[in-house]
């Protein structure tokens, strides 16, 4: 395709975060890009080692290798979990516009960003299918789309596995988790999810996808439901992780 480089030259791609132009490098056909400029990428706090190998929580120290954190040692989780970056800066703005501003096209760059950062984890997890964290149908009607499903769609394509939508469901309405402390968040969503047809997921390696990890209570409640459906294992990914310090 000779047309693509010409189009890029005439209409250089814009950064999804700051709307600045992104200089085009090379004329080769490249895989889909997140289109976030170097400046904005520099303002995103990507999560890096040392992390907990199970829950993905970053350790306060800058040195050392990945290991299992104290919480996971005392209560080993059924699932492993990773996030691409800390919720903040341009990433937080992007997610806000994506989730609350109807900007559904931002699902692709956010998912590609997560894929690029978490490729090793995702490939090692070798999922059979992607399952997005579902919204309650009332919330889905309000928003018009499930942001986790839009991210999951892109990740599924990258990993060449199908996304299973509508099987993991919200069984009841839960209040927004914002403003609740960690304990209340767990209580709020406990038992809120269920699997409609366990046969579809039984024995499968599931990649559970959400936009933001805050305390892990929503993911945890989803994992409980998936475990009950006898999935083989769950790897959970989120684009961002809210870090409480
Ligand atoms: Zn930018
Ligand atoms: Zn851990």
Domains along the chain with CATH numbers = 46-241 (3.40.50)
Give the ligand whose atoms come closest to the C-alpha of residue 21.
1
Q: Measure 7 CA to ligand 1 centroid, in angstroms.
A: 20
| Measured torsion, CA atoms of residues 195, 228, 174, 52, in degrees rounded to the nearest 10 | -120
Q: Measure 121 CA to ligand 2 centroid, in angstroms.
A: 15
The radius of gyration computed from the CA coordinates of the chain, to the nearest angstrom, equals: 18
Specify the pLDDT at position 1. Answer: 56
Q: Measure 225 CA to ligand 1 centroid, in angstroms.
A: 39
SS3 55: coil
Please list the residues that pair with 129 across neighbouring strands.
206
> At which residue do the structure tokens 């304990």 appear?
183
Give the ligand whose atoms come closest to the C-alpha of residue 77.
2
Which stretches of the chain drop beneath a pLDDT of 50?
none
* Residues 156, 170: Cα–Cα separation, whole Å: 21
Specify the pLDDT at position 116. Answer: 96
- For the chain, the farthest-separated pair of C-alpha atoms sits apart, in whole angstroms, at 57
Q: Mind listing the pLDDT tens digit for each residue in 177-194? A: 777 888 888 888 888 999
Specify the pLDDT at position 245. Answer: 54
In order of 14, 56, 59, the CA distances from 4 in angstroms are 15, 39, 43
Total-model pTM: 0.92
* Residues 35, 92: Cα–Cα separation, whole Å: 16
Specify the pLDDT at position 187. Answer: 87
* Residues 85, 92: Cα–Cα separation, whole Å: 10
Q: Measure 37 CA to ligand 1 centroid, in angstroms.
A: 4
Specify the pLDDT at position 244. Answer: 67
Q: Mind listing the pLDDT tens digit for each residue in 103-128? A: 999 999 999 999 999 999 999 999 99
């Amino acid at each position: 395709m000779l047309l693509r480089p010409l189009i890029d030259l005439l209409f250089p791609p814009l950064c999804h975060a700051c709307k600045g132009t992104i200089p085009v490098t090379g004329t080769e056909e490249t895989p889909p890009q997140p289109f976030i400029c170097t400046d904005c990428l520099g303002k995103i706090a990507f999560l890096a080692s040392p992390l907990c190998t199970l829950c993905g929580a970053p350790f306060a120290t800058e040195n050392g290798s990945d290991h299992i954190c104290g919480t996971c040692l005392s209560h080993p989780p059924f699932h492993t979990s990773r996030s691409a970056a800390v919720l903040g800066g341009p990433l937080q703005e992007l997610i806000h516009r994506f989730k609350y501003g109807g900007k559904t096209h931002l699902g692709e760059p956010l998912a590609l960003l997560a894929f690029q950062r978490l490729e090793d984890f995702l490939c090692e997890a070798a999922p059979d299918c992607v399952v997005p964290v579902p919204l309650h149908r009332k919330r889905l009607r309000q928003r018009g789309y499930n942001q986790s499903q839009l991210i999951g769609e892109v990740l599924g394509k990258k990993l060449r596995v199908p996304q299973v939508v509508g099987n993991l469901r919200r069984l009841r309405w839960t209040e927004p988790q914002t403003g609740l402390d960690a304990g209340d968040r767990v209580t709020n969503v406990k038992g809120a999810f269920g699997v409609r047809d366990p046969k579809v997921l039984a024995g499968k390696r599931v990649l559970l996808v959400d936009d933001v990890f805050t305390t892990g209570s929503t993911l945890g409640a989803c994992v409980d439901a998936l475990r009950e459906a006898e999935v083989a294992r769950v790897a959970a990914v989120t684009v961002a992780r809210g870090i409480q310090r």
